[in-house]
Amino acid sequence: MKSAPNALRLTLKLAISLVLVTWILHGIFSGEAEQQTKDWASLTFAEQVRASWTIGPVALWETISDVSIVWLLASFVFMGATIFIGVIRWRLVLAVQGLHLSLGRATGISLVAHFFNSFLLGSTGGDLLKAYFAAAETAHKKAEAVTTVVVDRLLGLFAMLLFVSMMALPNWNIVMSQQRFMAVMLVVLGMLFVSGLVVVLSFWAGPTKPRLKFEAFLARLPKGEVLVRCIEACHAFGEKPGFLPRVLGWSMLLSLACVLQIVALGFGLGLPMGEHFRVLLLIVPAIICISALPITPSGIGVRENLYVLLLSATAIGIEAKTALSLSLLAFAGSLLWSLIGGAVYLAFRSRHSLD
């Protein structure tokens, strides 16, 4: 009797995976086709789709063929390292709530979330699915499990913004050299202030009496008790000694892995990345942070334009076409890991295992 629902569920997962994989490949092919096509913006949507699937695969192969296979594999490893470091950081966040998820299970959920990140807005849309699956892992701490996903993403973003701000100091001359760098830093500093404020207010809510009054008000709202539990779960992070430095440390390492992915691809394309390593420590995390804003699916377009805008600046001098190829190759590496996440999604089963 159970075989029919299981078959239907598998069929639905296959359909979803097929649609999303098609979307992922279209994202890669359209970027390559746009490079090869004049007046791309003047084409109709149907013409762009046709060009993406006829020109795109050939152009992508030509781009990949120009990259040293050793450096291409290195960039793939560094991209995977960012996912794995994220898993370690999330498990630290889970542990504060008394939720001990195995490394394999946490990795599976994170890969599925990465798969869905490839088409949802910004580069954090898959966190919605991650929160859903985290809640499904427990019967009695669903609010706390969901809160861990939000806190993990918040601290990850805050740490990367902090990393960019620190890297701005040794690159101060470049930051002040052109308006494009100054504009990016203003956005980063604004995001750092807002995310830092949210962290402080979430972890350390101030005087007890006003906080209790606010929680009593929330409790009277529909589903208010869930909101109160989420707030109380956030307070636990501020009360845990040594938690914040450990999470920020892993997040800084994740930021470095993101930069090394781009450096590896640059070496693969024959670019003098050693000369630009210091400024890449500033540029790459800044682009990732801004691309995380929910503007376009998976940050497509925002990320590519920022790479071209910043890497082609006079202070760095990488050609715009090469900068775009670098961005597209990095995105392709991320999407390859998404396809692995898609395979995990097909075999994924929700279960209560954290109680």
Alpha helices in 66-139 (DSSP H): 69-96, 103-117, 127-136
Are 319 and 334 a contacting pair, CB within 8 Å? no
Which residues, listed in sequence order, are joined to residue 122 by a DSSP beta bridge? 297
CB contact set of 54 (below 8 Å; sequence gap of 6+)? 33
How many angstroms separate the CA atoms of 328 and 34, rounded? Answer: 11
Are 323 and 307 a contacting pair, CB within 8 Å? yes
Tell me which range, 37-41, 242-246, 315-319, is most confidently predicted by mean pLDDT. Answer: 242-246
Mean pLDDT of the chain: 81
- Residue 349 is predicted with a pLDDT of 67
How many angstroms separate the CA atoms of 261 and 278, rounded? Answer: 14
Nearest to 251 by CA among 163, 164, 166, 170: 163
Nearest to 86 by CA among 204, 255, 296, 324: 255
Per-domain residue ranges for the chain? 1-65, 70-346
- Residue 166 is predicted with a pLDDT of 95
Give the number of other CB atoms < 10 A from CB of residue 11: 10
Give the number of other CB atoms < 10 A from CB of residue 35: 18
How many angstroms separate the CA atoms of 282 and 277, rounded? Answer: 9
Q: What is the chain's length? A: 355
Query: What is the full DSSP assignment across 241-301?
Result: TTHHHHHHHHHHHHHHHHHHHHHHHHHHTT--HHHHHHHHHHHHHHHHHHHTSTTSBTTTT
Instruction: State the average pLDDT over residues 183-190.
Output: 94
Please give the helix or strand (H or E) that residue 68 lies within, else none. Answer: none
Report pLDDT digits (tens) over 289-347.
998 887 666 666 678 788 888 888 867 778 877 887 888 888 888 888 888 888 888 77
- Residue 122 is predicted with a pLDDT of 47
How many angstroms separate the CA atoms of 143 and 127, rounded? Answer: 15
